[in-house]
Amino acid sequence: MGRPRKYRWVEAEPGVTFFKPQGIPLRVLEHTVITVDELEALRLADYLELTQEEVARKMQVSRPTVTRMLARARKVVADALVHGKAIRIEGGDYHLGSQKIRCAACGQWQPALEGKATPKVCDSCQDPWHDPDKM
């Protein structure tokens, strides 16, 4: 039996994925990158002012992971603001909350499969899949 897979839950994809400072010629413009899961940690902690414990619970990651994601996200944003760099929001290891389904046997959330109604077995308890609660 494999180790249960871990997913970083993100409520929604960001609507805007590129920020560019005005008046910087493209040839000298530098880019920084923040991942979608790092932005979600930043949104939950710094915008919605959740505690790191609450962010960890929402995203279903450990608290040290939240601390690491926040440290990186804040540094990227600060770097962009201080040095006039563009910010691109892309990539990261995450699943969207809107595609979340819950195992009726163990209660763990996992991603809904693309285009399919239900998985065959639960990622967490490896039980045959029961009626999921769609979110």
Residues of the shown chain interacting with Zn ion in the complex, contacts defined by CB under 5 A: 103, 105-106, 122, 124-125
CB 110 to Zn ion: min, Å: 8
C-beta closer to Zn ion: residue 14 or 119: 119
CB 106 to Zn ion: min, Å: 3
| Of 6, 65, 5, nearest in space to 35 by CA | 65
- Cβ(98)–Cβ(120) below 8 Å: no
| Of 30, 18, 59, 20, nearest in space to 42 by CA | 59
**Half-sphere exposure (CA, 13 Å, Cβ side) for 7?**
18
C-beta closer to Zn ion: residue 52 or 60: 60
- Cβ(88)–Cβ(18) below 8 Å: yes
C-beta closer to Zn ion: residue 53 or 133: 133
- Cβ(94)–Cβ(8) below 8 Å: yes
